[in-house]
Amino acid sequence: MVKRANGVKGRRKGLNKHQRAAFREGEERIGREEIRALLQLSESKDPADRLQAASLLCPCHVRKRIEEVWAALYRMLEDGDVKVRRAAWHTLEDGGKPDDPALDEIIERTLECDSDKQVLGFARQFFQGREQRKQIEFAAAAISDYAERGKCDFCGESNARVKKDFTTEFEGRFALVCEPCDQVA
d(CA 77, CA 85): 5
Q: Which of residues 30 and 123 earns the better pLDDT score?
A: 123
Give residue-wise pLDDT tens across range 115-148. Answer: 999 999 999 998 998 888 889 989 888 888 888 8
Query: Which of 1.10.287, 3.40.50, 1.10.357, 1.25.10 is the CATH number of 12-142?
Result: 1.25.10
- Which residues have a Cβ under 8 Å from the Cβ of 18 and sit 6 or more positions away? none
Query: Taking the domains of the chain in order of start, what are their residue ranges?
Result: 12-142, 148-184
Q: Are 134 and 152 in contact (CB under 8 A)?
A: no
Give residue-wise pLDDT tens across range 45-69. Answer: 999 999 999 888 877 777 778 889 8
**Among candidate residues 165, 127, 126, 167, the one with its CA nearest the CA of residue 145:** 165
Q: Looking at residue 146, what is its pLDDT?
A: 87
**Among candidate residues 87, 93, 38, 88, the one with its CA nearest the CA of residue 62:** 38
- Which residues have a Cβ under 8 Å from the Cβ of 69 and sit 6 or more positions away? 35, 38, 39, 57, 62
Give residue-wise pLDDT tens across range 141-180. Answer: 888 888 889 999 999 999 999 999 999 898 889 999 999 9
